[in-house]
A and B are shown apart, each in its own frame.
Chain A
C-alpha cells in the first residue's frame, strides 16, 4: 500500500475506533475528541512524510499508485501527486487538524457523529487532490458533499436546513455537467486516466469548448466565481465554526484546483479562448465581493463575501496562463485558506462566548481581549495583503502574472489595474470590520465579561500565524515545490496553442 493511499484513508481508522466507543458519558466524549484529533494529527504527520519524499524539480506525477478498478470501462484506482497538488495536500491535512481542534468546546451534542463526519470529510478532500482518474476524482468530489451537508445541517445555525440543502443542490447541479463531460471523454477515449486523456486530447479537440464549459461550471460554482456565489454566504453563516474553516480553507480550493488540474491541460485552446471572459468575471468578483462585504451586519457574512473577492484574485492568476500567475494562484489558495480559516476561527471564539455575530453587539473588544485582538489584527492584515505576511505574496505574484499575461491580449494592464483596486477595497471593508469589533469604546456591558483567548485557542492561532509569517517572509520554498510542475503545464499549453490570438 502506497503512502498516498495511507494519507487518504488513514482517517478511516479513526472513524472505526470512534464507532466502537459509547456516546453519552463525559469520559468517552473526551476520548472521541482525542481520537479524532490524534487521527488527524497522524494524517498531518503522514502528509509531512509525503512532503519529505516529494522531489522538487520534477514536473510529472510522483508516488503513483495504479490498480484496475472497473477494467471493462477503463476505470482505475489511480493516485499521484505533483507540484500542483502537494500544497493542497498539506493544506488539507493542516486545516483538518486545526478545525478538529477548533471544535473542542464548540460542539456540544452528537459528538460522535460530528467527528466521524469531520474525518470522512478529510478522506474526501484528500482523494479529490490525489485522484488522477477522472471517475475516481468524481467519486471523491461528490463524496465531500455528504459530510459537509450533515455538518451544516446538524450542527449549523438557525437556518441550517435551508443552507445545507442549497449547498448540496447547487454544487451537485454543477457537478452533473462535469459528469457528462467525464463520461463523454472516458467512453470516447476508452480510459478515464488523466495523463492518458491529456496525451490523447486531440480526440475530442473539436468539442473542447463545450467540454471546457462542462468542467468550468462545476468548478466555478465551487470556487465560487461571480455570479455563482449565492450559496456561499448561506453556507458560511450557517455552518459551525469548523465547517466554515474547512469550507473556506479547502472546499473552495477544490474548484480552483480543478481548473488547474483538468481545464488547462485537457483543453488548452479552450482555456486561451475563454481566458479573457473568465478574467473579467474574476475581476467583477474581486470588486463586487469587496463592495458587498462592506455593508454586512454579520461578521461571518462579511468574511464569506470577502472570499468571493479573494478567490477572484486566484481565478485571475490561473487564467493569466503563465508561470507567475498560476503559482501565485496556487499559493494564494493556500493563503486564503490560512487567513480566512483563522478569521472564521476567531469569529468562532467570540461566538462561543457571546452567541452573536452581529457587529452592533461588539465594539471596543480590544480593551477586554488584548491578546486576542492583536492576533485578529495580524490575521486581518494578512487577509488585506500587507507585505511581509502571506496574503501579499500570493496577491503580488498573481498581479505580476496578469500584468504579463499573453492570454489577456495586448493590454493586460487594464485587467491588472481593475484587479488591483481590490487592494483598496480590501482595506476599506476589513478595517471597517476591525474597527466595529475591536475599536471604539467598550460600551456593551456584555462584552466586559469576555475572557481573553485560552491556551488551546492560542495554540491553534500560533499554528496559523506560523504559516502566515513563514509564507509572508520566506515563500521561496513554497514556490520551489510547484515551480517545475507549473512550468511544464505552461509549456504544454504553449505548445498546444502555437499561435495565440
Chain B
C-alpha cells in the first residue's frame, strides 16, 4: 500500500473540479448544474483541508467552514431562483432562459 501523499488529494480534487466544471458547461438541467457547482466547491474544500493537514496550519480548515456556509446560503438562494423560474417558465432547462441575448 503506497503512502497517501498530498499528490493524491490534489489529483482527486482536480478530477472532482473537472467533473463539476464539465457538468456546468454541458448539462441543461439547472438542478444538475447546481449540483456540479457544489461539486466544484467541495473539490476546493478538499484541497483546503489536505493542505491544512500537510502544512499544519489551521487557517485552511477555518476557511472551509466559511465556504460551507456560503455554499449553504447559495443553495438557498439558488433553489429559490430555480423554483421561481420553474413557476414562470414551466421548465428548468437553462437554454430556454436566454432573455439577455443581445
Consider the complex of A and B and state whether they touch directly, i.e. have CB atoms less than 8 Å apart. Answer: no
Q: Taking beta carbons and an 8 Å cutoff, which residues of B are in contact with A?
A: none
